[in-house]
Structure 1
Amino acid sequence: MTIRRLIIAATGAVLALAMAACGSSSSGGGTGAAASSGPAAPGNGQRGGPAAAGTVAAVAASSIEVQNAADGQVTVNFSGTTTFTNRVAAALADVTVGSCVIVGGTGQPITAKTVEVTAASANGCGAGGGMRPQNGGGSRPNRPSGAPGGQNGNPNGARAAGKVTAVSATGFTLAEENRQTGAETDVTVTVDGGTTYTKAVTADSSALKVGECVTANGKADDTGAVTATAIAISQAGANGCAAGGRQRTGGTNG
């Protein structure tokens, strides 16, 4: 009787140890599953902005090297399907009703020092709607009408952006949209002999030159090289090419 009880007790202890071991293994697996099913960290390509932006350092038959202080040097590849635009000198005659403009100047009403002209797209003149600033920058947010813009580091500067609604021999009027409310405000812009104008025109890869500014939309591979769907070219300003951060590896730019 005693021997039988000892055997039963020993068997029970072995079973208990086996169940505890299984429970421990199951618990460990559950913890691993929970960890792997948590929110994923933002991956490459999550960040907005162009795939590459900066100064052209070298030009080859089907690629360019683009440099900026944030990213160093990035290879941008292009092909026959890549679209190109080039920002060239323009005049007041290129400011027409319905076109999109970005104005930098002083005062209120604004006396324009620079006027950048772009054709409106299907989205109008808002972000992604036909306006690409000069010198390789990303889309600029609209400021309240006549608000100080710090143009070229000048705290008394002013900036406005929107669709042209009227043009005269001494200036033009544009409708600037408030991005928070969607309301539009008329902004009067005066021009003079010191106003400079630029406009975006359709181009091809022959327009790419060392020292120019570019922004490239497209997709970056795991080496960081970009396959461009569109490249916008402009001339460097007094402070060079104003290039912001690029989109990370694997990202696309819409």
Structure 2
Amino acid sequence: MQEIISPEGLRIDGRRANELRRIRCQMGVLANADGSSYYEQGNTKVICAVYGPREVNVKNTSRFDRAIINCEYFMARFSTNEHRKRSKGDRRSTEISLIIKQTFEAAILTYLYPNRQIDIFVQVVQADGGTRCAGINAATLALIDAGIPISDFVVACAAGCHEETPILDLNYFEDSSSSPDVPVAIFPKSGKVIVVQMDSKLPLSTFEKVMDTAIDGCYKIYAIMTEIVMQYNLDLLDSRGCFIK
């Protein structure tokens, strides 16, 4: 069995226990969407499209006091090396779609758009662990691109542990081993934790260390995302001649 952390303190991809994978982001990647983004973290690659606020498709689902949020998360069939058939409605995709929907219901200022709907589509084009966190981060960037008001950035990252050593940002190999996986999403300005998931048991003292590691990862990602948003907006202003030469 291949070890997760070598005696030198390095993981299989050369990172230290508390290091993120390389992150690349881009906004405004889809011309036909109201907002869109591309998010890459290591070998995990996600595209997100946002549409709305727009009229509600099914009238009896509308809310007079706020917008409704719809979310669809799915993995492209070529996104993994697994040969089993994946569909948009499989159990895992449905679960993550609901998590993303509930997460952004807490972030979007829905009361500004009564009787409207906002649709979020997240597609994983390549999966190497951490896809739900990447999907949440991509959705945040796409919503900002669409100009939809949110109370704060929503930033997500996962952490696990190996022999009581917390490890940040698990890849597929680490996630599919015996290491627990704890995805966390936060509002970075307030520090409020809005999503925590765990698929295995951990001692409380270890869980606290893993949580702290995941939250620290969220703030590292937040710094990267903030820089991307600022640069994107500066480029937009420049392209429209808003700067005086």
Greater relative contact order (CA < 8 Å, ≥ 6 in sequence): 1
Q: Please tell me whether Structure 1 or Structure 2 has the larger radius of gyration of its CA atoms.
A: 1
TM-score bucket of the superposed structures, by smaller chain: under 0.3
Q: What TM-score do you get using the length of structure 1 for normalisation?
A: 0.27
Q: What TM-score do you get using the length of structure 2 for normalisation?
A: 0.28
| Structure with greater strand share of residues | 1
| Structure with greater helix share of residues | 2
